[in-house]
Amino acid sequence: MTEITGGAESYEEVKKTAADILTRVKCRPVVGIVCGSGLGELADMVQDAETISYEDIPGFPVSTVAGHAGKLVFGKLGGKPVVLMKGRVHFYEGISIHKTALPIRVMKLLGVKILFVTNAAGGLNQSYEIGDLMILKDHINLPGFAGMTPLRGQNDERFGPRFPATSKAYAKRLRDHAKSTAKTLGFEGFNIHEGVYCMLSGPSYETVAECRFLNMVGSDAVGMSTCPEVIVAVHCGMEVFGLSLITNKAVMEYDTEQVANHKEVLEAGLKRSKDVQKLVAAMLETLEI
């Protein structure tokens, strides 16, 4: 069979994977949620949970990173049927850029209409503090500048159009809904911003010069994921909501002992995870689908 998008699974292969998953679970999800580093505890709020390990899904990418459990969790969250990715895969793990976004295409064929993506990110904006949340209003996909995009190659119209527009990738109604929901919840001790996320391929954290450059060109936070998933979601016609947890401050000065590390990321994720859970669940409770 001819491969679609330069190494990506064909529509028939993705459809087969989705059909196989649907035989194992009762839930028929309309919302998909991708959990970033340290945010997998959101799965604990899912009611009537049904779980499938990535390893048990033929052809499904498996995460190798601490803080990413590697499970699909189906059930109800905020009264809505959901499928939650407890852990994602990354390009830096040696997985193709197409494969990192495969779960989103599977979600589409499971019936998902709205995608929530969360991530742990370094704060480039100097007003951001560790533990703050950032609603994504846009992104800069730097790997895409070098041609590393999950849409590279032959296009299959059954997934989406050859040239999808991403200028409105992050749905305004979902961003507005997040802000109003957060206000209703009355969070204290941290701020909620709206900003631009930038993806680098990783796994090395950014140099000082890179951080300064990214901030100068309009990036508020930086991480190593999310953009491929969002691009594929938009291609598939999904609505997207993105949320970054600021787990560390990007190092912007040379004369400092501060360094970024993954342990710090996971600790910040654990500390703020309850608030992220509350926000996502409350959003779903009042979300029109």
DSSP character string of 131-184 = T-EEEEEEEEEHHHHTT--TT-S---TTT--SS---TT-S-HHHHHHHHHHHHH
pLDDT digits (tens, 9 = 90+) for 60-79: 988 776 655 789 999 999 99
| DSSP at 81 | E
Cβ pair 74, 29 in contact under 8 A:
yes
Cβ pair 72, 34 in contact under 8 A:
no
- Span 11-36, average pLDDT: 96
278 vs 256: CA distance, rounded Å: 36
- Span 230-243, average pLDDT: 98
Query: Lowest-confidence range among 147-151, 185-189, 195-199, 217-221?
Result: 185-189
Average pLDDT, the chain: 91
Task: Flag whether pLDDT at 4 surpasses 50.
Answer: no
For the chain, the structural domain boundaries read: 11-285
Name the residue with tokens 């996320």: 197
Question: In the prediction, which pLDDT does 267 show?
Answer: 72
- Residues serving a catalytic function are 37, 68, 90, 92-93, 120, 224-225, 248, 262
Question: In the prediction, which pLDDT does 7 show?
Answer: 60
Homologous superfamily of the 11-285 domain (CATH): Nucleoside phosphorylase domain (3.40.50.1580)
Largest CA distance in the chain: 57
pLDDT digits (tens, 9 = 90+) for 120-138: 999 999 999 999 999 999 9
